[in-house]
Amino acid sequence: MEILDRYLEAVKKHLPWQRQDDIVAELRANLESQLEEKESELGRPLTAQEAEEWLKQLGAPMQMAAPYQPQQYLIGPAVFPIYRTVLKIAFTWAIIIYSIVTAILLLTGTPSAAALAEAVLRIPAVLFTTAAWVTLVFAILEFAVTHNCIKLPAMVAPSASWSPSGLPPLGQEAISGKKPHAFASAVAEVIFGFIFLVWLLLVPHHPYLLLGPGALYIAASPFQLAPVWVPVYWCIVALNILQLGWNAENLWRGRWQKPQPVKRAVLGALGLVPLVIFLTAPGHAAVLLKHPLVDQAHYGAALQAINRSINWSFALICAIVAVQLLWGVGQLILNVYRNRAAAMQ
Amino acid sequence: MTLAENLFENLRLELRRGCLTLAVLAQLRQERYGYTLRKALADQGLVIDESTLYPLLRRLEAQGLLASEWREEEKRNKRFYRLNADGEQMFAKLLGEWQAINASVTATIGTTTTNSTL
């Protein structure tokens, strides 16, 4: 039957090449037997339309051939867990390295908002390239494993030395039923922490990044910032670097889900440093006159009012931060006490 | 096909997959070629698509459970399959497993039905 020959020829194209002829010969024998039986039941050969209906029931050639193909994975279930872990680590390091290199390039070159925006927009490409390389390496690994060129490392094989008692303890969030800190949020913290840091470093050279058009007004005004802002500014920069490094390290070590009350307390305590520096500035001066001899008579009262307001604001912020810190430390001590009590029971 | 129908079809296929292998092994205690095997299974109420059964025979043979040979019958070359010694052993083990699962599931379904009627 010509249509059956055409069908088998079409199936053959989708079969593994080493066994094409053998499989087609077997299929032919089976299908011809089936055809023969159909025809003997009818007492006549199948019409063209009936033959077509019959072949349609068997399924499209590709559908018939597909189950003969060995199951193939780009990255199979045995390798996939390591792939996912490595991909996360690779993403973290790619972002960290990219952030450091970009920060150096921005600081040593001519920092500008356009260069910063360009650096940020390049992040997806960096992540995509990283993912492509990791995937390629793991596809090769999968191929090697499935072709018995190498054996999977013990880290993914069931290990006899594994013990449930070695599992990490539940975090406070898990105990209280709160949702743990997601990986995406942890990565976002690192990325946005870096962007914020770059922005912070650019602000002294480009005040419009902070004040917008108001920067022009400040430049034209008779006032200028007092020298106390310099150590305050660098304290804030140092704090942000510390927090960024801390977040990146947590991500790298896979600890982003763990609650970190000590870290929060330390950052809270360090956050008081720039506020204290500011509040202990000589004369409590946050703003000075550019030309005191000329402008003192005219702007002296305004200057005093501005400095008083800024000092009051900072004192209030300092009080809030101190209360928060005390609350955090209190909670920390309480948790330690509770954990000890629970351990003793 | 609606979502529910699609889900049912997936679950049904999953449920059938292991059972089909056992049924095929059971039928191949006696030598058969593809088409007669398919007919024998259909006669027992297990209708299997050609695109499922014939590749399954190849896989079972590659796994060392079946022996096959090309032979002429009714003026046509056919590939005949039969359980080999390893296949016999594997069939016995799987049959024991199947009977245990069947008994447990039947008991579970019986308990659940009794509980829900109470």
Domain locations along chain B: 3-117
Query: What's the domain count of chain A?
Result: 3
Residue A288 within a domain: yes
Residue A314 within a domain: yes
Residue A27 within a domain: yes
Taking an 8 Å cut-off on Cβ atoms, the answer to whether B58 and A63 are in contact is no
Rounded Cα distance, A296 and A222, in Å: 10
A147, A77: one domain: yes
Model pLDDT, residue A30: 93
Residue A291 within a domain: yes
SS3 call for B25: helix
Burial A261-297 (b: 16+ CB within 10 A, else e): eeebbebbeebbebbebbbebeebbbbbbeeeeeeee
Cα-based distances in Å from A257 to A169, A182, A338 = 12, 7, 21
A299, A197: one domain: no
A103, A228: one domain: no
Give me the residue from A31, A33, A68 closest to B55, CB to CB: A68
Query: Which site among A26, A27, A40, A68 would you substitute to test the B interface, given the most B Cβ atoms closer than 10 Å to its Cβ?
Result: A26
Q: Is A127 on the interface with B (CB under 8 A)?
A: no
CA angle B111, B114, B118 (to 5 degrees): 140
A109, A20: one domain: no
**Which residue type sits at A207?**
P
CA angle A221, A227, A233 (to 5 degrees): 100
- Chain A residues in contact with B51 by the CB 8 A cut-off are 58-59, 63-64, 66-67
A235, A320: one domain: yes
Residue A252 has phi, psi (to 5 degrees) of -60, -40
Q: What is the CATH number of domain B3-117?
A: 1.10.10.10
Residue A43 within a domain: yes
Give me the residue from B34, B58, B77 closest to A68, CB to CB: B58
Task: Spell out the per-residue pLDDT of chain A, length 345, in tens.
Answer: 788 999 999 999 999 888 899 999 999 999 999 999 999 999 998 999 999 999 999 999 999 999 998 877 888 887 888 898 899 889 888 888 888 888 777 777 666 667 777 777 888 899 999 999 999 999 998 888 877 776 665 545 555 566 777 776 765 555 555 566 677 778 888 888 888 888 888 888 887 777 777 777 777 788 888 888 888 889 999 999 998 888 888 877 777 777 777 787 888 888 888 888 888 877 778 888 888 888 888 888 888 888 888 888 887 788 788 888 888 888 888 888 887 777 766
Residue A289 within a domain: yes
Q: Is A63 on the interface with B (CB under 8 A)?
A: yes
A45, A127: one domain: no
Token output for B20? 């089909």
Residue A207 within a domain: yes
Q: Is A26 on the interface with B (CB under 8 A)?
A: yes
Q: Answer whether B91's CB lies under 8 Å from B30's CB.
A: no
Size of interface A-B (CB pairs under 8 A): 51
A245, A301: one domain: yes
Residue A167 within a domain: no
Nearest residue in chain A measured CA to CA from B69:
A26
Q: Is B44 on the interface with A (CB under 8 A)?
A: no
A61, A78: one domain: no
Domain of A48 in residue numbering reads as: 2-68
- The residues, ordered by sequence, that sit 6+ positions from B81 with a Cβ below 8 Å of its Cβ are B28, B31, B32, B33, B34, B37, B57, B60, B61, B66, B67, B68
